[in-house]
Amino acid sequence: MIPAPLKRLRRARAQPDAPALVHAPLLAAGDIAGLAAQAGLLATLPVREVHDHHAGDWASRWLGRGLDFEESRLYSPGDDIRDMDWRTTARTGRPHLKIYREERQPLVHLVVDRGATMRFGTRRRLKVAQAVRVAAVLAFAAAGHNGVTGATLWNAQDETLPARHGHLAALGLIEQAAAPCPPLTDLAPTDALHHADRLAALEASLPRGARLVLISDFAWLADVHEAQLARLAARCDVWAIQVVDAAERALPEMGVACFHDMASGQRAWLDTAQGSVRSAVRTALADRLAAQAARLARAGVRHQPVDSDADDLAALLAHG
């Protein structure tokens, strides 16, 4: 929900050149350089092990047929005798098998939500700008670990960026995700079916074992999406990074204000000068965030909230 008077006040005081700024990219060149430096501090992308993987040429924790010998173990009926470790077998007198470290090149697919509810912010930056910053750190980190990165931008017209390898590919992805994101004047209620189609498209297009990162405020998330997310989590390592603005945790005191819920299209007037009103809204907002977290947990999706004004993203993402 957006406090309309507060948004107008911020534009009048902090953004005297608002018409020009709203058509500027979400990230400047200096911002991107700083995020690339943060990505260098991210030792590795947090990952949850899944049973299906994307083959490639990047060493990983999973074991299987490959080039690098890992260890020997006792032979079990049904093992492939082509992997017999004859030296160990001769030395111990018991049949042993060679195990190799499988080589992989991880596919990381980033989803950046650029929808109406993300084009809001009361502290330093819009939620969508923070989403792009998160995507930038993860894209640069993946490139630094020989990963292949693709993306989907959820917008009025969704855009899919093909998976590519290298830092230049990551930079191109970030620049497209950071395209100008002005406020939407014609706001339609969020359609749960539309997001169901988006999740279905991800399920159909991503290979098994890919790493899928959903960066959104998840204002659209409903019970109908749980089964789809659970299927995605069974195929991929799914990470939901939820961008939250400070006003979505505690409503500021600013007198009588009109609020426009961009997810439902509804409007309401509230007297925020009353402590009881702010307390009731704070409880409702906390309940909403808890319900969203519970849906993701039931679907088996890793969930991490990130405040829209947070700067040290590498530290946050390293513990995701």
Write down the pLDDT at residue 261. Answer: 74
* Claim to verify: residue 229 and residue 98 sit in the same structural domain: no
Cross-strand bridge partners of residue 303: 240
Mark whether 158 and 206 lie in a shared domain. Answer: yes
Write out pLDDT tens, residues 200-224.
999 999 988 899 999 999 999 999 9
Strands 159-165, 148-154: pairing is antiparallel
Please indicate, yes or no, whether residues 168 and 276 belong to a single structural domain of this protein: yes
Fill in the amino acid letter for 199: L
Which structural domain range is residue 181 located in? 2-52+105-318
Nearest to 109 by CA among 71, 153, 70, 72: 153
Helix axes 127-144, 29-41, angle to 10 degrees: 50
From residue 298, how far is each of 41, 61, 134, 231, 245 by CA, in Å? 32, 27, 24, 12, 24
Shared domain for 214 and 259, answered yes or no, is: yes
Picking from 21, 237, 243, the residue whose alpha carbon sits closest to that of residue 154 is 243
Check whether residue 76 and residue 166 sit in a common domain: no
Residue-level pLDDT at 208:
85
Judgement on whether residues 93 and 18 belong to the same structural domain of the protein: no
CA–CA gap between residue 305 and residue 161 (Å, rounded): 25
Provide the 10 A C-beta neighbour count for residue 20.
9
Count of domains in the chain? 2
The backbone region for 316, taken as left when phi is positive above 0, alpha when psi lies in -120 to 50, beta otherwise, is alpha
Judgement on whether residues 109 and 199 belong to the same structural domain of the protein: yes
Shared domain for 204 and 260, answered yes or no, is yes
Beta strands (DSSP E) in 186-319 are 211-216, 237-244, 256-260, 267-271, 302-307
Which residue type does 33 have? A
Same domain for 221 and 281, yes or no, is yes
The segments of the chain whose pLDDT lies below 50 read: 1-16, 49-66, 103
What's the pLDDT at 12?
35
CA nearest 94: which of 77, 81, 80, 75? 75
| Pair 134, 203 in one domain | yes
- Distance, CA of 162 to CA of 11 (rounded, Å): 36
pTM: 0.76
Q: Are residues 75 and 193 in the same domain?
A: no
231 in the same domain as 150: yes
Structure tokens at 9: 């006040």
Sheet holding 302-307, edge to edge: 159-165, 148-154, 107-113, 211-216, 237-244, 302-307
Token pair in block for residue 88: 């160990």
Last residue of a domain, one of 44, 76, 104: 104
Q: Write the pLDDT tens digit of every residue in 263-315.
A: 667 888 988 889 898 899 899 899 999 999 999 999 999 999 999 999 999 88
Q: Which residues contact 259 (CB under 8 A, 6 or more apart)?
A: 1, 2, 3, 4, 267, 268, 269, 270
Query: Which backbone phi and psi does 234 adopt, to 5 degrees?
Result: -75, -25
The 3-state DSSP class for residue 210 equals: coil
Count of CB atoms situated within 10 Å of the CB of 69? 11
Beta strands in 183-265 (DSSP E): 211-216, 237-244, 256-260
Q: Can you tell me the distance from the alpha carbon of 110 to that of 114, in angstroms, rounded to the nearest whole number? A: 12
CA separation for the pair 251, 248 (Å, rounded): 7
CATH code where residue 283 lies: 3.40.50.410
